[in-house]
Amino acid sequence: MLGIFLISIYGCSLSLDRASKNLTDYKMEIILNEDYSLDANMQICYYNNSESALSSIYFNLYPSAFRNESQQEVISLSSFDKCYYNGTCYGSIDVFEVYDDSGLNLNFEISGDDENILIVYLQKAVEPESYIQFNIDFTVIIPNINHRFGYGESTINLGNFFPIACVYENGKWVEIEYSSYGDPFYSEVANYYVEITYPKSLILASTGKETVSSEAGNKKISVLKAKAVRDFAIVLSEKFKVLTTVTDKVKIYYYYYDDELAGESLTTCKKAIEAYSEMFGKYPYEEVKVVQSNFVHGGMEYPNIVLISDDIDDYQTYTHVILHELAHQWWYGVVGNNQTEHAWLDEGLTEFSCALFYEKHPEFNVAMDDLIDKANSSYQVFKAIYEDVLGDINTSINRSLNNFSTEPEYYNLVYVRGFLLMSSVNDLIGSKKFIKCLKNYYSNYAFKIATPENFIGVFEKTIMKDLEEFFNSWLNGKVIEF
């Protein structure tokens, strides 16, 4: 397996100033209109961290999946009515001009398998370890839909709403197609400076930190800054109430409008940040926001901000979703991975991180053994049903989103079986060594992109034991006994 030099961060904090060097910068000016559209200009200062000179830059256009003609699926049939509660409504993104700082227009095209990729052709190739700067003018139509990108009865959710640079790896751009399940996104950390103008009746929560706020007539202007984050999201609402607390210099915000136990929810947020920081490594940012929202699924993670669905009907589940989404600040947020190819790497680990949290906090009355028993039972029921219907089932979990046939298959293999994989490793090496491995994984790959091989390699190096066969037995769907 891979030999990895491990850097300990015990007692140390990650330096955002250091992490924010040699990154792409996004500077956006956005106007949110009354008709739920956005007018936006984005200045890109793209940093080429590859070993190749690049004559063009590719961007994922995630809102294109929501347009009328799209062949991409944004929601499953089982969730369609709950998502489109007012009937089918479409969104879009339209790039209408790309130009350099002198005003010279650059050639571009909308490409990809489903008009989901923007290609900007440069006047001159950008060399390795160099920057190239240009501007993109675009408009966005926000659909009326309970989704991560859409507006509902209570919130406007702006997740994955702007052109974001594709990851360039192994000599090619990684183009992402939307999926009705999972998180079909993949990006590197970057720096963001966002100025957004919006109706002053709205309260805003976002990635990063609000540094300036002003009003002009019936509009409000917020300036938002974020260093070394993997994406940028915004949620707005007229209904928000806000609670705050602080732990170890991290300010925690809870935005809500329908939570009779809001104080307890804020306490859960604080305990989560404290526990995960202690177990895995310090949370490196100044702020984190937990935001109740109109969202068809349980929750959604973005850097510094997580969405919690207002449709969850019991408080224990609501609490668990808070814990799960906040764990994603470590696994996806700081330590990145290709969520479309190896979803188990962040989802399975995040689910097991919740179990580790419950062990540290018995007051939540959730036992590790009960979680494992429940996961085993759930998985066996799923497996039996699929085998009865299909005669066979592919139980491998290390595959891309488009290789899962249904949402239940994705959930039971990525979340449930991914959780059981982490549990089995924990049983094999012991909790203390498992947490030490996660500390080393976090310190080595903070602000980077990790692969399954990197993850396994950290475990092998930390405990000085060959684990490749053990991991592969789970990943390939053939669990073996040790």
Whether 369 is covered by a domain: the verdict is yes
| CATH number of the domain enclosing 306 | 1.10.390.10
Boundary (domain end) residue, out of 237, 270, 294 = 237
Q: How far is CA 234 from CA 48, 222, 333, 428, in A?
A: 27, 11, 16, 41
Show the domain range for 309. 241-334
Domain-located, residue 123: yes
Helix (H, G, I), strand (E, B) or coil at 261: coil
Those residues with Cβ within 8 angstroms of residue 447's Cβ, 6 or more apart along the chain or in another chain: 14, 19, 189, 228, 334, 336
Where among 334, 369, 404 does a domain terminate? 334
Same domain, yes or no, for 76 and 156? yes
Digit-coded pLDDT (tens) for 49-63 = 999 999 999 999 999
Report how many domains make up the chain. 3
| Within a domain: 6 | no
CA distances from 268 to 9, 41, 274, 359 (A): 25, 38, 10, 14
Give yes or no: residues 293 and 434 share one domain. Answer: no
Mean pLDDT computed over 94-110: 96
Task: Classify residue 66: in a domain, yes or no.
Answer: yes
pLDDT in tens, 428-456: 999 999 999 999 999 999 999 999 999 99
From CA 461, how far away is CA 443, in angstroms rounded? Answer: 14
Using the structure block, give the residue that is written with the tokens 């007051």: 363
Please check whether residues 52 and 81 belong to one and the same domain.
yes
Asked if 143 and 59 touch (Cβ cutoff 8 Å), the reply is no
Q: Within this chain, do residues 130 and 179 fall inside the same structural domain, yes or no?
A: yes
> Residue 347 gets which letter from DSSP?
H
In this structure, are 185 and 232 located in the same domain?
yes
**Pairing mode of beta strands 117-126, 108-111:** antiparallel
The CATH number given to whatever domain includes residue 168 is 2.60.40.1730
Question: Alpha-carbon distance 47 to 58, whole Å?
Answer: 13
Q: How far apart are CA 240 and CA 307, in angstroms?
A: 13
What residue type is 50 in one-letter code?
S
- Do 143 and 226 belong together in one domain? yes
Q: How far is CA 316 from CA 319, 321, 365, in A?
A: 5, 9, 10
The answer on 79 and 199 residing in a single domain is yes
The pLDDT tens digits for 306-364 are 999 999 999 999 999 999 999 999 999 999 999 999 999 999 999 999 999 999 999 99
> Is 328 inside a domain boundary?
yes
Q: Is residue 133 part of a domain?
A: yes
Residues 197 and 166 in one domain: yes
| H/E stretch holding 209 | strand 209-216
Task: Verify that 314 and 376 share a domain, yes or no.
Answer: no
Model-level pTM?
0.95
Residues 6 or more apart whose Cβ sits within 8 Å of residue 227: 16, 17, 19, 20, 191, 208
- pLDDT (0 to 100) of residue 479: 60
CB 220 within 8 A of CB 481: no
Q: Are 174 and 10 in contact (CB under 8 A)?
A: no
* Residue 2 resides in a domain: no
**pLDDT tens digits for 262-298?**
999 999 999 999 999 999 999 999 999 999 999 999 9
Q: 36 and 170 in one domain? A: yes
Rg of the chain over Cα atoms, rounded to whole angstroms, equals 22
